Amino acid sequence: MTGNNKTGENNWRPATALVHGGTTRSPFGETSETIYLTQGFTYSGAEAAEARFNGEDPGYVYSRYANPTVSMFENRIKMLEGAEAARATASGMAAVNLALMASVKAGDHIIAAKALFGSCRYICETLLPRFGVESTLIDGTDIDQWKAAVKPNTKALFLESPTNPTLEIIDIAAVAEISKSIGARLIVDNVFATPMYQSPLQLGADVVVYSATKHIDGQGRCLGGVVLSDEEWITEEVMPFVKHTGPHMSPFSAWVLLKGLETLPLRVAQQTSSASKIADFLVGQPKVARLIYPGRDDHPQADVAKRQMRAGSTMLALEIEGGKEAAFRFVNALELIKISNNLGDAKSLITHPATTTHQSIGEEARAELGISDGILRFSVGLEDPQDLIEDIEKALSVI
Ligand X SMILES: *Cc1c(COP(=O)(O)O)cnc(C)c1O
Report the interface residues with ligand X, using CB under 6 A: 91-93, 96, 117, 120, 160, 164, 189, 191, 211, 213-214, 223, 225
305 versus 396: smaller Cβ distance to ligand X: 305
214 versus 352: smaller Cβ distance to ligand X: 214
- In order of 121, 238, 278, 391, the CA distances from 109 in angstroms are 15, 19, 42, 47
- Name the minimum Å distance from CB 41 to ligand X: 28
- Name the minimum Å distance from CB 122 to ligand X: 11
> Is the bond preceding 162 in cis, omega lying within 30 degrees of 0?
yes
- Name the minimum Å distance from CB 300 to ligand X: 19
Q: Report the distance separating Cα 222 and Cα 224, nearest Å.
A: 7
208 versus 395: smaller Cβ distance to ligand X: 208
- Name the minimum Å distance from CB 263 to ligand X: 19
**Beta bridge partner(s), residue 379:** 315, 349
Q: Is the dihedral of CA 22, 26, 29, 32 positive or negative?
A: negative
Compute the residue count for the chain.
Answer: 399
Rounded to 5 degrees, φ, ψ at 41 are -140, 150
Q: Where are the beta strands (DSSP E) in the chain?
A: 85-89, 109-113, 134-138, 154-160, 185-189, 207-211, 225-229, 288-292, 315-320, 338-339, 349-351, 375-379
Output the CA torsion 16→19→24→27 (10° steps). -110
228: nearest Cα among 251, 255, 198, 252: 198
CB atoms inside a 10 Å sphere around CB 306: 15
- Name the minimum Å distance from CB 112 to ligand X: 12
23 versus 194: smaller Cβ distance to ligand X: 194
120 versus 376: smaller Cβ distance to ligand X: 120
94 versus 278: smaller Cβ distance to ligand X: 94
Burial class (CB in 10 A: 0-12, 13-18, 19+), 297: exposed
- Name the minimum Å distance from CB 58 to ligand X: 29
23 versus 213: smaller Cβ distance to ligand X: 213
- Name the minimum Å distance from CB 239 to ligand X: 20
Q: Is the dihedral of CA 10, 12, 15, 20 positive or negative?
A: negative
Rounded to 5 degrees, φ, ψ at 318 are -140, 150
- Name the minimum Å distance from CB 225 to ligand X: 6
- Name the minimum Å distance from CB 390 to ligand X: 28
104 versus 208: smaller Cβ distance to ligand X: 208
203 versus 395: smaller Cβ distance to ligand X: 203
> Is the bond preceding 165 in cis, omega lying within 30 degrees of 0?
yes
271: nearest Cα among 225, 221, 219: 219
Q: CB under 8 Å to 398, separation ≥6 — which residues?
A: 329, 330, 333
Phi-psi region of 293 (alpha: psi -120 to 50; beta: other; left: phi over 0): beta
- Name the minimum Å distance from CB 1 to ligand X: 30
- The edge-to-edge listing of strands for the beta sheet with 109-113 is 85-89, 225-229, 207-211, 185-189, 154-160, 109-113, 134-138
275 versus 326: smaller Cβ distance to ligand X: 275
Residue nearest to ligand X (CB): 92
